[in-house]
Structures are given as structure tokens and as C-alpha cells.
């Protein structure tokens, strides 16, 4: 536009600001806004910057900018209020939403479908299910048409609250609104019907999905197999997997992992191992999730040697795209407790050498367990104090006494 000497409109400036935020971050968007002439800083530009703050969960800046917009008496629509309410639900402050709704009504700002949706989610977050229903009734009275999101929200809320009959009513409404045969809508329906425990409806929607999308995507099979596994329909999950396996041009380890995980949980290790090997022969090498499944299995069985081997493989592979796989704090606690109970200093140190490949810092809890392991084994260390300083770790008073006991010059 600049090369063609085109003059940007005020709406162009708002779009430019939004694109800058996405491409270069909020600071670049702020700088662009500051450098705009005052005449160009209208409600659209302010709204675009507010939306950036809300997306980045910058509560104080978002609230300050909203106050500024009111101070300038800028014409406000539902959009900035919707952004602010979404921010509050994301940062765990849903109780602030009703006061914003009251402010919108007092200012005669029309509530749109998005407003009602975020209002219902906020009420659900504080377990006010009757409030959710009142808002939905108000939405219908005001003539605001519920969209796909409205009924998917309602279904999720009712399922979480245990109102399965109400959830199924919402799901039926959701189906009516899936006129354009949206794949994500089908998958959502399958997942939610699965959470209501209605296996019949799961299969019915799956058949509809297959008719709408004859070339069914891997992600759809992954979702369906996971739902069937959750419903303990292992024969159905295996049948669905075989169907995917015979028709998929490319083997996807993520789909195989769902069934591998099901076998492992049912103590069918041989079948899990066979499927992992079959996937490997088909060109889908086990990923970090595959090894995490076997790691969890061996931990439950108390086979820590095999567990460490699986953990090593998961760390070596990583999550892909340069992303590390990091063992959970639960895994770390279980492993370190084992070495501590066995007074196995060498095993603990070997384990931590592997873990350090993916973790920047081991943390105080791990080091405290390691120090207790040294003390229980009657072992000393000339490097432990130095290691703690390098890791910038401070241990508890009781552990400090043990540290002094095991340390040697």
C-alpha cells in the first residue's frame, strides 16, 4: 500500500495494528499505536490494541486502555467488552463478568451471540448452572440466535455438571446447526456423546461423519478410537483401527498410540508391544508419547529399570519440531522416591543425568530427595554444595543438616 501511495483508512490502521501484534508481538503493536496521529486513534484502533492485550492476558493494560476509551467517550460496541470478558475467564476471574454485562445493559450496548456465550461460560466456571440456563432463556427472549458455539458450550457445561439429559438436548440442537457439515462439529458431537456414555449416538454420528467425509482424516479416526476406548468398547476401537489401518495411505503413530495406551492400561502388554512394532514396520516410529505409555506401565508394575529405559527414549526423541519431552513432576517424584527407598545413589545419579538432557533445572524437591538418598546410603559427596549453587537451589532446614553431614572437603 505504501509503495502504491495508498492512504490507509482508520480501519486499515486497526488491521495493520492487529497484524503487527500477530507477526511481531504486542510491543510492536503498541509502538505503532503510539506513533499514529491522534486523528487516526479512533475506537477501531483502540479496540484492536485492547484485543491484543486481552489475547496476551495483560489484564492491567487491558483494563487501563478500556478506562481510557470510556474517558474519551469513544463509541463502544460489544466487541471490546467481549474481549475483556474473555480475558477474565481465561485468567480465572469469571466473577467479574456479570458486572460487565450490567454495564453493557446500562449503556444500551446490544449483547450479541458471543457476549451470551462468554457470559454462560463465566457462570459455569463458578458452578452457577441455573444461571447458565437463565442466560440462555434471556438470549432466546432477546431474539439472539444461538450458534454452533452456543450449543457446544451448553453441552460441555451440562456434561461437566452431570446433567446428561440436558446435555443431549443441547447436542441435538448443535446437530441442527451443523448444516454446512463442519468436521470439527462432528468430532465435537462424538466426544460429547461419548462423555454422556451414549455409545449408540457415538456410532450414529460417526456414520454421518463418514458419509459427509468419505476420505476420513486421521484426526477423526484418532478422536473416534479415543472415545471408544474411554467407553471401554475395545472391540469397537480395534475394528475402527483396522478400518483406518487398511485405508490410510500414511501410518500415523498418534492413532496407534491410542490403542497402544488402551492395551497397556488393560495389562495387555504383549498386544501393545506388537502394535508398536507393527507401526514401526509401517514407517511410523514410536514417538515420545509411545514411550511415555510404556514408561507409565512399567512404573505401575514397579519395573524401574525398564521405566528408565523408556524415559531415556522419550527424552531422546522429544516431542518433535525441536520441542523437548519433559517428564512430569509425578514421574520425577515416583522415580526419586524409589531410589531413595532402595538407597541407590548410583541409580539416582544415572537417572538424573538422563533427565538433565530435557530439564534446565532439576529443582529443590529433586535435590532434597537426592541428598536423602546419599544420607540413607551412607555416601558422601564433595560436589553437592557446588551443584546446588550452580542450580541456584535452596533446600529446607532439615535437608541442609543432611547436606552438611554428607558433604566432604
pLDDT, tens digit (0-9, with 9 covering 90-100), for 157-206:
999 999 999 999 999 988 887 766 788 889 999 999 999 999 999 999 99
Asked whether the beta carbons of 336 and 359 are under 8 A apart, the reply is no
Q: Is residue 381 domain-resident?
A: yes
- C-alpha span between 291 and 300 (Å, rounded): 14
Query: If you average pLDDT over residues 402-407, what whole number do you get?
Result: 86
- CA distances 95 to 84, 90, 105, 244, Å, are 13, 12, 17, 45
363 domain residue, yes or no? yes
Question: Which pLDDT belongs to residue 405?
Answer: 87
- pLDDT, residue 395, reads 85
* pLDDT confidence band for 1 (50 / 70 / 90): low
**CA nearest to 391, candidates 354, 362, 350:** 362
The confidence score (pLDDT) of residue 244 equals 94
Tally of CB atoms within 10 A around 372: 21
Interacting residues of 259 by C-beta distance below 8 A, sequence separation 6+? 225, 229, 237, 238, 241, 275
206 exposed, middle or buried (CB, 10 Å; 0-12, 13-18, 19+)?
A: buried
> Considering the entire predicted model, what is its pTM?
0.81
Q: Can you tell me the distance from the alpha carbon of 391 to that of 397, in angstroms, rounded to the nearest whole number?
A: 18
Supply the pLDDT for residue 321.
57
The total number of structural domains that make up the chain = 1
Note the pLDDT tens digit of each residue in 269-318: 999 999 999 999 988 889 999 999 999 999 999 999 999 999 999 999 88
Is 1 a member of any domain? no
**Does 139 reside within a domain?**
no
pLDDT band at 118 (very low <50, low <70, confident <90, very high): very high
Instruction: Tell me if residue 285 falls in helix, strand or coil.
Output: coil
C-alpha cell at 4: 502504491
Note the pLDDT of residue 359.
84
Alpha carbon 152 to its chain's center: 18
Cα–Cα distance between 324 and 334 in angstroms, integer? 21
Q: Which domain holds residue 387?
A: 326-409
- Provide, rounded to the nearest whole percent, the portion of the chain with pLDDT above 90: 68
Average pLDDT estimate for 340-351: 94
pLDDT score for 24: 92
Could you tell me if residue 32 is inside a domain?
no
What's residue 179's pLDDT?
63
Measured distance CA(69)–CA(46) in Å, rounded:
7
C-alpha cell at 105: 445493559
Could you tell me the maximum CA-CA distance found in the chain, to the nearest angstrom?
79
Query: Rounded mean pLDDT of the chain?
Result: 91
15-53 pLDDT tens trace: 998 899 899 999 999 998 998 888 888 888 999 999 999
In a domain, 120, yes or no: no
pLDDT tens for 213-242 read 988 889 999 999 999 999 999 999 999 999
Collapsing DSSP to helix, strand or coil, 394 comes out as coil
pLDDT on residue 10: 67
Residue 348 lies in a domain: yes
User: Is 54 within 8 Å of 85 (Cβ atoms)?
Assistant: no
Beta strands in 28-109 (DSSP E): none
Amino acid at each position: 500500500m505504501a509503495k502504491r501511495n495508498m492512504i490507509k483508512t482508520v480501519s486499515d490502521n486497526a488491521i495493520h495494528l492487529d497484524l503487527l501484534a500477530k507477526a511481531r508481538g504486542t510491543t510492536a503493536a503498541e509502538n505503532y499505536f503510539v506513533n499514529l496521529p491522534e486523528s487516526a486513534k479512533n475506537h477501531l484502533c483502540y479496540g484492536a490494541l485492547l484485543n491484543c492485550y486481552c489475547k496476551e492476558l495483560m489484564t492491567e493494560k487491558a483494563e487501563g486502555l478500556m478506562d481510557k476509551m470510556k474517558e474519551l467517550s469513544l463509541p463502544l460496541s460489544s466487541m471490546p467488552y467481549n474481549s475483556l470478558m474473555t480475558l477474565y475467564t481465561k485468567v480465572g476471574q469469571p466473577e467479574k463478568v456479570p458486572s460487565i454485562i450490567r454495564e453493557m445493559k446500562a449503556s444500551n450496548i446490544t449483547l450479541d451471540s458471543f457476549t451470551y456465550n462468554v457470559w454462560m461460560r463465566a457462570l459455569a466456571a463458578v458452578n452457577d448452572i441455573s444461571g447458565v440456563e437463565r442466560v440462555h432463556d434471556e438470549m432466546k427472549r432477546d431474539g439472539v440466535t444461538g450458534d454452533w458455539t452456543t450449543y457446544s458450550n451448553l453441552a460441555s457445561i451440562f456434561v461437566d455438571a452431570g446433567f446428561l439429559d440436558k446435555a443431549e438436548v443441547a447436542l441435538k440442537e448443535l446437530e441442527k446447526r451443523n448444516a454446512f457439515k463442519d468436521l470439527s462439529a462432528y468430532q465435537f458431537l462424538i466426544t460429547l456423546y461419548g462423555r454422556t456414555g451414549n455409545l449408540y449416538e457415538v456410532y450414529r454420528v460417526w456414520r454421518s461423519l463418514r458419509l459427509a467425509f468419505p476420505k476420513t482424516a486421521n484426526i477423526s479416526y484418532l478422536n473416534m478410537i479415543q472415545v471408544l476406548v474411554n467407553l471401554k468398547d475395545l472391540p469397537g476401537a480395534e475394528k475402527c483401527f483396522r478400518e483406518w489401518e487398511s485405508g490410510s495411505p500414511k501410518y500415523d503413530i498418534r492413532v496407534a498410540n491410542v490403542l497402544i495406551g488402551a492395551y497397556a492400561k488393560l495389562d495387555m502388554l504383549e498386544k501393545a508391544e506388537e502394535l508398536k512394532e507393527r507401526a514401526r514396520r509401517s514407517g511410523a516410529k514410536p514417538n515420545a508419547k509411545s514411550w511415555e505409555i510404556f514408561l507409565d506401565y512399567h512404573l505401575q508394575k514397579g519395573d524401574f529399570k525398564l521405566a528408565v529405559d523408556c524415559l531415556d527414549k522419550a527424552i531422546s526423541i522429544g516431542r518433535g519440531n525441536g520441542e523437548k519431552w519433559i517428564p512430569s513432576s509425578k514421574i520425577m517424584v515416583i522415580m526419586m522416591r524409589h531410589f531413595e527407598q532402595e538407597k541407590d545413589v548410583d541409580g539416582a545419579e544415572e537417572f538424573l543425568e538422563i533427565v538433565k538432557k530435557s530439564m534446565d533445572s532439576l529443582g529443590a524437591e529433586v535435590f532434597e530427595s537426592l541428598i536423602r538418598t546419599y544420607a540413607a546410603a551412607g555416601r558422601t559427596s564433595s560436589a553437592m554444595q557446588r551443584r546446588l549453587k550452580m542450580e541456584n537451589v535452596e533446600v529446607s532446614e532439615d535437608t541442609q543438616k543432611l547436606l552438611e553431614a554428607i558433604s566432604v572437603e
